[in-house]
Structure 1
C-alpha cells in the first residue's frame, strides 16, 4: 500500500520541477514510510511513497518496462499478479522483479486500457508511456483506493492519492464548491466525482483516464455492475457461497509481512476470521476496539470468535472521557467527513499496526448481501408505494410526514416521521430521505436563506437520480444496493478505511468487496437476502456451521461512538467553541439561530441531534483549516 502523486504538462514541454514534486509528495509520507521514488522528464513527473508488502527488496517505484519507456507508480494490490505474470512471460515479456507492480507495465504494453479488465485487486495507479506521450490513470472497480486530480492555472495536471498533496501546490485553485455543503450534510461526505473544492475532482470508482498533451480530460468507465444473467437458486447459493468467500479471502492472504484481521464481533469480520483460520496453520492475529459504555461495546462477541478459532487476540478499550483524537480525525480526510465510526476505525488500525502490516476487514458485507435495516424498511415502503397511486399517496403521507413529531426520544417503532415522508416520495427520493445524515427539511432549516437561494433548487438527490438511470435491475432491493455501490461505499466506507489505515501505515484488504464475489452475489434473489425480516439471510445460513448463533442472529450494533452522551458532557464546551465560532457564523452557509437551537435542545436532553452536531463539528474544523 502506497501513495502516488504526479504532474503533467498539458500544453507545452517544460522540465518538471523535481523539488516541488518531492515537497508535495512528502505530505503523504504516512501512506508509504519505507521508501520514495521519482521520475521526471519534459512532460511528466511521477512520485511514489512505498509501504513494502510484496517483494520487499525489489519493488522500488517508479517501476519500468525493459527499455524504460513505460513507467508506473502504483497504490494497491493486484491479487492475481502471479497468474498474469506467467501469461505475460509466455507472450515474451521479461520481468525483473517479483512485484505485482511490474505486471501493470507489461499488461499495458500487451493489452492497452483493456488491461484493467484483467486485474483483480484494489488499485490506483499512474502510468506514463513515453513512446506515445500518454498518461494513463486508473482506479479500481469499487473505489477502494483514492485518486484526486486537478488542472492548474498554468496548464498542468496534478494528481495524488490524497487531496492535501493538491491543495499544497502553489498553482492549484482551492476555492470551495458552492454545492458541497448541501451534499455533505445530506450524505456525510461529498460523493464522487466531486470534492469540497470547485476545481479538484475524484476519479470515480471503476473509471480511468488517458491523457496526451493537448487532449481533453475525459474519464471513461471501464467497469460497472451488470444485470445478472440468471438468478441463483437457494441450493446454488448455499452450495457455493463459502467457496466464493474462501477464495476471496485466500488471495488476500499473500504478503511478505505480518498479516492479521479486524474482529469487531459482527457477522462479517467473524466470517473473514473463520475463513482465514481454515487457510493457515498458525493462529490468526486479530484485534478489536471497544467502549466503556456497554451498548457501544462488542468486544465480548469478538472474544467468542477469538476463543472459537484460537486467534492471537488483542483488545483496546476507549474511555468515554477520551476525546483527544477528534481533531486528528477531522484532519485526516482533507474535506468534511461525518462518519463518526472514523474514530474507532482509526484506533483499531492503530492497534493492528503495532503487530501487523496487513489486516483483512469485513467491510462490504451489508452492501453485498443486503444487511442494512434501511434496506428492509425501503422494501416494506415500496410495497405501499406500488399499491397506492401517487395522486393519493403524496398528499396523504406528505401531510402525515409534516405533522408527525420528530420523536427522537421514542422507541424505534414509534418514530414514523421518516416513514411517512418517504411514502410520499418516489423510490429514489425516498431512499435519499432514509439514508440522509440530515434530511431535506432539516437542511432547509439549518441553511441560511442566502445559501438556499444560491443552490437554485439543487439538492444532493440529483447524484442518486443520475446513478439510478444506470441501475442494472428494476428489482427495488438491487436498485438501492447499486446506489450504495456508487455513493456510500466509495464515498463513505472505503474513504474512512483508506485514510484511517494509511494514517497508521497499515494496509487493509476487504475480501467481501472482491469484484468477482460481488458479481456472483448480485445474482442472489432479493427474497434470499432478506427473509423473515432478517437481512443477509442467505449469507448467515451458509455461515451457520462456522459461527455461533449469538454472532449470526443478534441485533446489529454498528461501529460507532457514544456521541449523544459526549455532546452532553465532555464535548459540550467544544460544540459551543467550534460550531458557534466566527468562521461558522460568518460563513454564509448557516442560520445562526438554528445552530444555537440545536445545541441547546441537545445539551438539555430535549432532542437528540448527535449525528447532526457531529457533522457540524467536522465541518467547522474543515472551515477553520481553510482560514488558518
Structure 2
C-alpha cells in the first residue's frame, strides 16, 4: 500500500511539483520514497512495504527502460499472472506484485488490467510515446484523483494522485468548492457517485477507468466490462440454490480471505460485531485452530489480532456480539477494544475532516478512524467486511426492492412468502415512514439563492430489480463512499486495508445464483449466513438488526451540543453562501431543548460542510481550532427565535436593507387596477418575531425608525398612508404557529391532505400538518363536508367550494414554505386571532409613536394582509377603504417572502396626494 502522485506538462517545474505532491502523501508511505522525471512527466511514490519489502522500491522501470510504474495496491492473483508471463519469456528481478503489473502492461497493454484481481491505482509512463496511463481497480477500492488545466494551450497540464491534498500541494490551481457537489450532499446525502469531487475541477477516476495522458490531450475510458458481464450472468438461467452452492460459496469466500493474507508484515482484522466482519475474523480463526501450521496464514501469527470500537451502555453498542465470537475462538484471537468518546472526537475532528478530504454522511467513520489508530500499534495490514451489504442486500430497504421485483414479475406465491418472512422488518420501515413526525426539509435551512441555482438536481435509484440495485449501490451509490472512508482512515495511520468481500470472482458467483440466495423468507445475505453455520455463533449469523462501525451520534451531539452550537453561531457559518444561519441556529436550539424531535444527520451535514470549508479554504492555522475555541464566538446580530423555542442569536451576513429600496425584482410604485391610483409600497425589514412578542410595540418602534430618516419625497406631504403587516408574524406572536414536528397529524389528516393540490409555493392544506390544524380549527365533520363539496364542485366545473364551506380561517392556514424567512420555512400556522382588533391596537400604538405630527395626521390605519406570489387577502383592518382596493395595491406582492424579512410595509396613496 502506498501513495502515488504525478504531473504532466509543467516543464521545468515538474520535479518541484512532484516533490511537493510526494510530501503531502508521506503518511501513506513511511517506508520509502522515489521520484521519476523526464521532459514532460514527474512520478512520485511513497511506499508502505508489504510484499518483497527489500526489493519492491518504486518507481520501477522495465529492464529495457521503456515503462516506469508507480503503484498503490495489491494484485492478489499476481503469482498466477507471473507464471503466465514467465511462460511468455518475461524475466523477473523481484518477488513483488508491482513488477508483475509492470510486465503485464508491457505484454498486453491496457487489456492486462482486467486480468488483475485486487485493488490498485497506478500510473505507467511509456518512454517511447511519452504517454502516461493511469488506472483504478474494478471497484475503486484504491483512490485516484486528477486535475486537468482547462486553459492549457500547448498540450495538457495534469496533476494526479492518491489524495486530493497531493493535488493541492502541487500549487498549480486555486482550490475552490464545487457548489453542485455541496448541494447534492446537503439535499440528497450523496457523495462519491460521479467523477466530480467537492473541489471544483478536481475529478476522481471512477471504478474500472483508465486515464490516458498524451501530448495531444487526455482521454478517460473503461478498461473493463465487469458491470455488463455481471448483467449478462444475471440474465442467464440461475443455478439452483442447494447445499452444494452454499459449500462452494464458503470455499470461494475462504479463498478470498486467504488471498488477502499475503504479506510480509503483521495482518489483523477489524471486528465490529456485525455479520460481515465477524465472518472474516471467524474464517481466519477457524483456520488457525484447525491448521495452525498452514504457512499461508503466517502473517496473522499464532493469534489473530482483532480491533473493535465499543460503546458501553449505548443503544448501538455491539460488544456482546464481539464477545460471542471471542468466546468461541478465545485461543485464536487477541482482542483489542477501544471506546471512542465525544471529548476525543472534539479533539480529533480537525484531523478527521482533513483525513476524509470531502464531507461524509455521518460521524460513523470516526469510529473506524479511532480503531485504525489503535490497530497501527499492532499490525500493518487490516481486513474488514466492507462490500457485503451492497453485494448481498444488507440494508433493510433492499427488501422493498425485492418485493417490488416479485410483484413486477408476477411471482405472487414468493411475494406472499417474503412478506410474511420479513414482516418485522417491514413493520419497522413502515413505522419510520408513517411515524407522523414531519421532518424539516433541508431547503428550509439553506440559502434560497443556492437552492434555486441547483433546484434542477435529481437523484433516483433502481426500485424493482434487486440485482440491478446491487450493481448500482456497489459501483455508484453506496460502496464507493465506504471505500473512501476505508482508504482514508487506514492510510492516515499507515495501514493497508483489505476487503475480502469486494472480489470480482466472488461477485460473479453470486450473480450466477437466483435472488433467493441473497434474500429468502425475510432474511438477507442468506448464502453468507448459511455458509457460516458452525463457524459463527448463531447470535451473530442470525442477527436481524444491523449497526456496523458507527458512533452513538445522537448521544454524542447532546453531550457536546454547546460546542456544536458555537459553529452554527459563528460569523464564518453565517457568511457561507450555502446556509440560512438564523434558521439553522434556531432549529439546533430546538434540538437542544427537544432532542427527541430531531435526528442528527442533517445537523452533521451542515457542520461537516462548515468544518470542511474551514479546513481547506479558510485560514489553515485557525481552521476548526475548533469546536470549543474562542475564535468562533457568537456572531453579532438581533435575536432570532422560533415558535415555542428559545431565542437564538442571529448572524447578520449583510447590511440591513434601506426602507426606501424595493425588494429584488419588485418596484416601489404601482398603479392600482382597482381604483386607478398610483400607490407606493415601502417594505420594512424587521427582526425575526417570536411567540409572545408584543406586536404593537414592535410596530411602533419600527415606524419610529422609519420616520427618523424619512426622505422628503418618500411620503409626500399630506398623502394618506397605511401600515400593512403580514398575518404570519401576528400569528407567530399569538402562539398560533408551530414547528412542523410539534404538530402530530392524525390519520385522517394524512389521508385528506393527499387529495389537496399543493400550490407551487407549498401553501395550503396539501401537507398533513396544515390539514391537522384545519381539523383542530373547525372540526373533522366540517372539513369532510367541505371536501365533499369541493369534489362535487370539480364535477360541475365550479372551483372554490371547499373554502366556501370550510371558512376563511382555514383558507388562511399556511404550511411550511421553504422560500420564507424563519420560522415560516419550518412551521405551520393558523390565521391570526381577531385581526381587526389587532389592527386597531397597532394603529393606536403608531398614533402614540414619536413621529412627526404631519406623518401622524396623514396615517389612515393598519391592514393585516395575507399576501404571497399567488394571491392577496385582507384578513383584518381598522380602515374604511374597500378590501379589494387594498388587495389590488399588492398585486405583485412587494413584501419579501424570502430571506429579505420584510413582513411590514408602508402603503402610500399617491393618487390622493396628487389630487391635493
State the TM-score bracket (shorter-chain normalisation): 0.7 to 0.9
Partner residue, 1:195: 197
Partner residue, 1:66: 63
Contact (CA 8 Å) 1:292, 1:318: kept in 2 or not? no
Alpha carbons of 1:581 and 1:223: their partners in 2 closer, same or farther (altered >3 Å)? farther
Partners of 1:233 and 1:125 lie apart in 2 by: 40
Partners of 1:92 and 1:130 lie apart in 2 by: 22
Equivalent positions of 1:135-154 (< 5 A) are: 135-152=132-149, 153-154=151-152
Give deviations 1:443-496, integer Å, cap 9, x for gaps: 3323222012211512344xx5xxx6xxxxx96111221111122445311000
Shift of residue 82, structure 1, vs aligned partner: 1.1
Equivalent positions of 1:289-300 (< 5 A) are: 289-300=309-320
Contact (CA 8 Å) 1:183, 1:190: kept in 2 or not? no
Contact (CA 8 Å) 1:66, 1:94: kept in 2 or not? no
Q: Which runs of 5+ in 2 are unaligned?
A: 293-301, 411-426, 620-916
Partner residue, 2:496: 507
Alpha carbons of 1:456 and 1:562: their partners in 2 closer, same or farther (altered >3 Å)? closer
1:244 paired to 2:244: no
TM-score with structure 2 setting the length:
0.60
Alpha carbons of 1:244 and 1:450: their partners in 2 closer, same or farther (altered >3 Å)? same
Equivalent positions of 1:19-34 (< 5 A) are: 19-34=16-31
Partners of 1:574 and 1:382 lie apart in 2 by: 47
Decide which of 614, 620, 623 is 2:613's aligned counterpart: 623
Partner residue, 1:543: 532
Alpha carbons of 1:158 and 1:379: their partners in 2 closer, same or farther (altered >3 Å)? same
With 175-184 and 506-515 compared, the bigger mean Cα shift is at: 175-184
Partner residue, 1:338: 361
| Greater gyration radius | 2
Partners of 1:176 and 1:246 lie apart in 2 by: 43
Decide which of 299, 304, 318 is 2:340's aligned counterpart: 318
Alpha carbons of 1:448 and 1:379: their partners in 2 closer, same or farther (altered >3 Å)? farther
Shift of residue 292, structure 1, vs aligned partner: 2.9
Partner residue, 1:204: 206
Partner residue, 1:117: 114
Give deviations 1:414-443, integer Å, cap 9, x for gaps: 22249999xxxxxxxxxxxxxxxxx9x823
Contact (CA 8 Å) 1:158, 1:166: kept in 2 or not? yes
Decide which of 548, 562, 570 is 1:573's aligned counterpart: 562
Equivalent positions of 1:247-262 (< 5 A) are: 247-262=255-270
Shift of residue 601, structure 1, vs aligned partner: 2.6
Shift of residue 572, structure 1, vs aligned partner: 0.9
Shift of residue 306, structure 1, vs aligned partner: 2.2
Give deviations 1:162-214, integer Å, cap 9, x for gaps: 00111222222423222112221223534231101221100001111222111
Partners of 1:232 and 1:381 lie apart in 2 by: 22
Alpha carbons of 1:386 and 1:184: their partners in 2 closer, same or farther (altered >3 Å)? farther
Decide which of 251, 262, 271 is 2:279's aligned counterpart: 271
Partner residue, 1:362: 385
Partners of 2:132 and 2:498 lie apart in 1 by: 27
Partners of 1:411 and 1:535 lie apart in 2 by: 15
Alpha carbons of 1:576 and 1:560: their partners in 2 closer, same or farther (altered >3 Å)? same
Shift of residue 135, structure 1, vs aligned partner: 0.9
Partners of 1:384 and 1:419 lie apart in 2 by: 28
Shift of residue 381, structure 1, vs aligned partner: 5.9
TM-score with structure 1 setting the length:
0.87
Partner residue, 1:455: 454
Contact (CA 8 Å) 1:580, 1:595: kept in 2 or not? no
Partners of 2:13 and 2:7 lie apart in 1 by: 7
Partner residue, 2:547: 557
Shift of residue 517, structure 1, vs aligned partner: 0.5
Contact (CA 8 Å) 1:151, 1:172: kept in 2 or not? no
Equivalent positions of 1:74-473 (< 5 A) are: 74-152=71-149, 153-154=151-152, 155-185=156-186, 186-225=188-227, 226-227=230-231, 228=233, 229-235=236-242, 236-280=244-288, 281=292, 282-309=302-329, 310=331, 311-323=333-345, 324-380=347-403, 413-417=430-434, 442-461=441-460
Shift of residue 305, structure 1, vs aligned partner: 1.3
Give deviations 1:383-435, integer Å, cap 9, x for gaps: 78999xxxxxxxxxxxxxxxxxxxxxx976522249999xxxxxxxxxxxxxx
Contact (CA 8 Å) 1:320, 1:562: kept in 2 or not? no
Give deviations 1:309-345, integer Å, cap 9, x for gaps: 2312221222354322222211112222223221110
Shift of residue 298, structure 1, vs aligned partner: 1.4
Contact (CA 8 Å) 2:114, 2:223: kept in 1 or not? no
Contact (CA 8 Å) 2:447, 2:577: kept in 1 or not? yes
Partner residue, 1:55: 52
Decide which of 505, 515, 518 is 1:529's aligned counterpart: 518
Shift of residue 616, structure 1, vs aligned partner: 1.4
Partners of 1:33 and 1:366 lie apart in 2 by: 33
Secondary structure of 1:137's aligned partner: strand
Secondary structure of 1:616's aligned partner: helix
Aligned-residue Cα RMSD (Å) equals 2.4
Contact (CA 8 Å) 2:6, 2:42: kept in 1 or not? yes
Give deviations 1:210-230, integer Å, cap 9, x for gaps: 221112333335243221233
Secondary structure of 2:467's aligned partner: helix
Partner residue, 1:399: none
Alpha carbons of 1:475 and 1:452: their partners in 2 closer, same or farther (altered >3 Å)? closer
Secondary structure of 2:119's aligned partner: strand
Alpha carbons of 1:582 and 1:383: their partners in 2 closer, same or farther (altered >3 Å)? farther
Secondary structure of 1:208's aligned partner: strand
Partners of 2:123 and 2:365 lie apart in 1 by: 28
Contact (CA 8 Å) 1:15, 1:40: kept in 2 or not? no
Secondary structure of 2:260's aligned partner: helix
Secondary structure of 1:513's aligned partner: coil
